[in-house]
């Protein structure tokens, strides 16, 4: 195939049995299980193990995996010291990439991957998956305190993954509804086929790079506003609009200037992103518990309705970023931590694809269409 396809849009890069998307019907499934069912009935721990191993675990398997995760939440003080010397005003995703890549110096050990994928690799891959999934959440929560000049809060092994993350972020026992919402958000963001960051992890993993470097590369891809950074842009956009009554004039002006409507549209979906539907329901439940609808949520509902009238015919509907940022804002989480929280969830999918890539590994080496100069002779500098 010599045809150039910008962004590799629609070009199959691998075979995978981890997740699937039906963009016409608005269906996302992990290992065949509909995302709405998983968000309603599963937990992040169970979903992560499903993604890693391919089947819903037995109670014994889940208990073992959960125990492993709880036992790997702590990080060495050296990592905390590295974080203390980073600029407090720095971007959290850059901190996260730095901290995750540094873990390889402290937890790498002597194990290496073999090109033939031997039995020892299976244990190493699972062990690294547990360590990185557990510590990603710890590092993101630690930064919230370190950047404000405080020592981070120690993780607790008596809490679930979502409970512990919120506890470490806020420094108090989290509200049960917020825990349920966070758990569902982690499930919803855990995997989404071969997106930019997952593909980055696969390419890096195909070189047999060590897992902390694989994930550091994926974090770099996720950091961009066209990928994981969009939910923060949604909140900024809704703040700019202000109130529901401002929506139509704002939208008319935005469309006239051909500017992006953040959180609207997805390359894979021709209907509403199924994850956005679940998040909207969670936001409604949260608002009902609080006893009022937040102005931001009201504005978002009004904007979605207005956008559907003019953009729905083009297959442009809310994506996962549209409501996730609103939920996190209502829960008191800082806007610049939204993308790191995305990484806390997506690490499960990254590790699953890393493992799948290594099952039948071949280093990625795409070709190109050369558009440069024809062969020519070197010209000495005094004759140019």
C-alpha closest to that of 318 among 341, 301, 293: 301
Q: How many CA atoms lie within 13 A of 55 on its CB side?
A: 4
pLDDT at 118: 60
Measured between its terminal Cα atoms, the distance across the chain in Å is 39
Contacts of 100 (CB under 8 A, 6+ apart): 132, 135, 136, 139, 212, 215, 216, 219
Structural domains for the chain: 15-224+336-359 (1.10.580.10), 230-330 (1.10.230.10)
> How is residue 259 written in tokens?
């500017």
With vertex at residue 357, the alpha carbon angle to CA 354 and CA 359, rounded to the nearest 5 degrees, is 110
CB 330 within 8 A of CB 283: yes
- pLDDT for 14-40, tens place per residue? 999 999 999 899 999 999 999 999 999
* DSSP calls for 34-75: EHHHHHHH--HHHHHHHHHHSSPPPHHHHHHHHHHHHHT---
* DSSP calls for 318-351: B-HHHHHHHHHHHTT--GGGHHHHHHHHHHHHHH
* Catalytic pick among 321, 336, 353, 382: 321
- pLDDT for 319-352, tens place per residue? 998 999 899 999 999 999 999 999 999 999 999 9
The H or E element that residue 21 is part of is strand 19-22
pLDDT at 46: 98
Catalytic status, residue 321: yes
Q: 3-class SS at 208?
A: coil
Query: Low-confidence residues of the chain, pLDDT below 50?
Result: none
* Catalytic pick among 161, 189, 192, 266: 266
How many Å separate Cα 244 from the centre of its chain?
29
Tracing tokens 């894979």 back to the chain, one arrives at 268
């Amino acid at each position: 195939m010599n045809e150039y396809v910008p962004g590799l849009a629609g070009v199959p890069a691998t075979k995978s049995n981890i997740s699937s998307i039906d963009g016409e019907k608005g269906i996302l499934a992990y290992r065949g299980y509909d995302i709405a069912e998983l968000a309603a009935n599963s937990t992040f721990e169970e979903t992560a193990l499903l993604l890693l191993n391919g089947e819903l675990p037995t109670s014994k398997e889940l208990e073992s995996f959960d125990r492993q995760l709880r036992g790997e939440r702590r990080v060495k003080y050296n990592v905390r010291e590295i974080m203390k010397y980073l600029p407090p005003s720095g971007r959290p995703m850059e901190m996260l990439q730095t901290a995750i890549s540094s873990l390889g110096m402290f937890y790498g050990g002597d194990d290496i991957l073999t090109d033939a994928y031997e039995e020892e690799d299976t244990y190493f891959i699972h062990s690294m998956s547990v360590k990185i999934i557990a510590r990603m959440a710890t590092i993101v929560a630690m930064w919230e305190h370190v950047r404000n000049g405080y020592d981070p809060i120690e993780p607790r092994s008596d809490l679930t993954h979502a409970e512990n993350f919120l506890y470490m972020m806020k420094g108090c026992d989290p509200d049960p509804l917020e825990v349920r919402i966070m758990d569902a958000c982690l499930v919803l963001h855990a995997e989404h086929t071969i997106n930019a960051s997952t593909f980055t992890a696969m390419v890096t993993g195909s070189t047999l790079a060590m897992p902390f470097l694989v994930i550091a590369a994926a974090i770099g891809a996720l950091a961009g506003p066209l990928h994981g950074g969009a939910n923060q842009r949604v909140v900024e956009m809704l703040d700019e609009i202000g109130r529901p009554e401002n929506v139509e004039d704002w939208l008319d002006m935005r469309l006239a200037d051909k500017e992006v409507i953040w959180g609207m549209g997805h390359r894979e979906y021709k209907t509403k992103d199924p994850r956005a539907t679940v998040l909207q329901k969670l936001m409604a439940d949260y608002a009902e518990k609080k006893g009022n609808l937040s102005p931001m949520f009201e504005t978002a509902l009004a904007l979605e309705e207005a956008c559907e009238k003019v953009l729905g015919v083009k297959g442009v509907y809310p994506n996962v970023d549209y409501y996730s940022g609103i939920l996190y804002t209502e829960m008191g989480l800082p806007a610049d931590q939204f993308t790191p929280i995305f990484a806390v969830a997506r690490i499960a999918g990254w590790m699953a694809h890393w493992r799948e890539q290594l099952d039948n590994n071949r280093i990625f080496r795409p070709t190109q269409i050369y558009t440069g100069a024809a062969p020519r002779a070197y010209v000495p500098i005094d004759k140019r």
